[in-house]
């Protein structure tokens, strides 16, 4: 995972001190909405001094401030419905999850597990109102998470809407409170092998639900297992109607609603015709590409890369430095630095640019080619340079 080093220019002398869950759960909130994850609270930085002047020729030296890459918390929303017994899907899926999460690259990632399908003591159309395993950093939590994965057994139906709703509703207040491990990037990964079979939620309701999750700063990714290409609505009268949505189209549009386009396959179907099977989906289609433990592990690692790599925390507030206009430098694995300009809202420069990631200016985000560098180059780092305030 990319490292973050924060460098700050310091004066040697003269720097002044100076659910509708089918089976019983509540909705996201009484009005059906989720709170915004970023409340825009004051991060504690001193307001910029209008009389402060930065002199690039002043007597300044470098000083290192410890910075950190934003943490990542992933909640796996796992389909354990009875169809997962077909063709060894369950065993392959469990092996793939454990293979991915055993990699040292996940050591500092918090991972949790929600289930849906049959849950002991409840009906076959139920989902976890709270996680079976709460997201925890894997360097110390693998044994517990893997024990929870090992206990997954196929049974019951497919209440997909309730499962996502429950996960978002549990995560949203944690994000708003900004407590660890929910004080960085948060993602939900839906792993499913078919269309929903509980409730009568329309595709539009699914799209709106994922959009609400996104508004609460939860990225949603989807991994479709064999069986996920069936018609969206089950029909018991002898065949699906001609206008029945195809699940590949619904899942593709849900995935496109769930995260930044930069995190999706280039040219994927972000707004497909819902009655047409999608050949270039925005989700990980393991029915089409081949379902193996390795393929599932690769998909989950791709999600890790997409969600972790491009936001960095600013250094702690210090009255000696101007935090309002940082310099942002991406250094690749070979040690080659690139100083990025501030994004303007126009075309992204060839080397990329940076912008604020939150209203409180406590985080910066890297955009464009520079973001690709820190996503794909595990030895890269980001340096943040602050100017001294000089009277």
d(CA 221, CA 210): 10
DSSP letter, residue 242 = T
Residue 244 pLDDT grade (very low, low, confident, very high; cuts 50, 70, 90): confident
Residue 93, token pair as written in the block: 């899926």
d(CA 322, CA 325): 7
What does the pLDDT look like over 157-183, one tens digit per residue?
A: 999 999 999 999 999 999 999 898 998
Phi-psi region of 14 (alpha: psi -120 to 50; beta: other; left: phi over 0): left
Going by their DSSP bridges, the two strands 284-285 and 218-224 should be labelled as parallel
**Which has more pLDDT, 374 or 242?**
374
* Residue 346, CA distances (Å) to 9, 261, 342 in order: 30, 17, 11
Residue 121 pLDDT grade (very low, low, confident, very high; cuts 50, 70, 90): low
pLDDT(153) > 60: yes
Residue 151 pLDDT grade (very low, low, confident, very high; cuts 50, 70, 90): very high
Query: What is the separation, in whole angstroms, between the first and last Cα of the chain?
Result: 40
What does the pLDDT look like over 184-222, one tens digit per residue?
A: 899 999 999 989 988 889 999 999 999 999 999 999 999
Residue 282's pLDDT is 97
Residues 6+ apart with CB under 8 A from 387: 9, 54, 321, 322, 325
Residue 89's pLDDT is 96
pLDDT(371) > 60: yes
Residue 350's pLDDT is 95
Residue 372's pLDDT is 87
d(CA 331, CA 339): 9
Q: Nearest Cα to 281, choosing from 233, 249, 246, 244?
A: 249
d(CA 71, CA 307): 10
Residue 386's pLDDT is 84
Diameter over CA atoms, the chain: 84
Residue 85's pLDDT is 94
Residue 391's pLDDT is 58
Domains annotated for the chain, with CATH where assigned, are 72-308 (3.40.50.410)
Which long-range CB contacts under 8 A does 351-360 form with residues at least 24 apart? Answer: 354/328, 357/311, 358/38, 358/40, 359/38, 359/40, 360/38, 360/40, 360/41, 360/42, 360/43
Residue 47 pLDDT grade (very low, low, confident, very high; cuts 50, 70, 90): very low
pLDDT(226) > 90: yes
Residue 187, token pair as written in the block: 């993602």
Residues 255 and 228: beta-carbon distance below 8 Å: no
DSSP helix/strand/coil, 168? helix
Residue 11 pLDDT grade (very low, low, confident, very high; cuts 50, 70, 90): very low
Residues 6+ apart with CB under 8 A from 274: 203, 232, 245, 246, 249, 250, 253
pLDDT(373) > 70: yes
Helix (H) or strand (E) holding 356, with range, is strand 353-356
**Which has more pLDDT, 295 or 4?**
295
What does the pLDDT look like over 23-44, one tens digit per residue?
A: 444 344 433 433 333 333 333 3
Question: HSE on the CB side for 37, CA within 13 Å?
Answer: 25
d(CA 133, CA 121): 18
d(CA 20, CA 198): 11
Phi-psi region of 216 (alpha: psi -120 to 50; beta: other; left: phi over 0): alpha
**Which has more pLDDT, 68 or 40?**
68
Residue 230's pLDDT is 82
pLDDT above 90 coverage of the chain, percent: 53
DSSP helix/strand/coil, 160? helix
pLDDT(58) > 70: no
Unique residue bearing structure tokens 């195809």: 246
Residue 217, token pair as written in the block: 């700063």
pLDDT(59) > 60: no
The b/e string for 200-210 (b: 16+ C-beta within 10 A; e otherwise) is ebebeebbebb
Residue 39, token pair as written in the block: 């409340």
- State pTM to two decimals: 0.74
pLDDT above 70 coverage of the chain, percent: 79
């Amino acid at each position: 995972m990319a490292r973050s080093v924060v460098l700050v220019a310091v004066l040697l002398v003269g720097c002044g001190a100076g659910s509708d869950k089918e089976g019983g759960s509540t909705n996201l909130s009484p009005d059906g909405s989720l709170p915004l994850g970023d409340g825009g609270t004051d991060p504690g930085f001193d307001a910029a001094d209008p009389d402060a002047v930065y002199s690039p020729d002043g007597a300044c030296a470098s000083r290192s401030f410890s910075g950190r890459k934003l943490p990542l918390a992933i909640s796996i929303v796992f389909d354990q419905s009875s169809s997962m017994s077909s063709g060894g899907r369950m065993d392959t899926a469990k092996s793939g999850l454990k293979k991915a999460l055993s990699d040292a690259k996940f050591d500092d990632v918090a991972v949790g597990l929600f289930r849906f399908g049959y849950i002991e003591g409840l009906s076959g159309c139920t989902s976890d109102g709270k996680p079976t395993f709460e997201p925890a950093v894997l360097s110390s939590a693998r044994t517990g998470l893997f024990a929870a994965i090992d206990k997954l057994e196929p049974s019951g139906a497919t209440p997909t809407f309730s499962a996502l709703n429950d996960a978002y509703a549990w995560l949203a207040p944690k994000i708003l409170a900004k407590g660890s491990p929910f004080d960085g990037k948060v993602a939900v990964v839906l792993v499913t092998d078919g269309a929903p079979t509980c409730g009568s939620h329309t595709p539009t309701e699914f799209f709106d639900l994922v959009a609400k999750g996104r508004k609460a700063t939860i990225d949603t990714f989807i991994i479709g297992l064999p069986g996920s290409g069936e018609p969206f609505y089950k029909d018991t009268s002898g065949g699906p109607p001609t206008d029945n949505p195809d699940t590949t189209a619904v899942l593709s549009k849900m995935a496109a609603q769930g995260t930044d386009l930069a995190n999706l396959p280039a040219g994927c179907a972000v707004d497909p015709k819902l009655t047409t099977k999608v050949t270039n989906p925005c989700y990980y289609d393991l029915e089409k590409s081949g379902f193996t433990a390795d393929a599932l592990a690769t998909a989950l690692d791709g999600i890790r890369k997409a969600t972790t790599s491009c936001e960095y925390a600013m250094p702690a507030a210090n009255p000696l430095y101007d935090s309002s206009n940082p310099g942002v430098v991406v250094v690749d694995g070979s040690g080659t630095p690139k100083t990025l300009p501030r994004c303007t809202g126009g075309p992204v420069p060839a080397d990329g640019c940076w912008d604020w990631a939150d209203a409180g200016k406590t985080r910066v985000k890297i955009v464009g080619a520079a973001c690709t560098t820190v996503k794909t180059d595990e030895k890269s780092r980001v340096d943040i340079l602050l100017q001294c305030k000089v009277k």
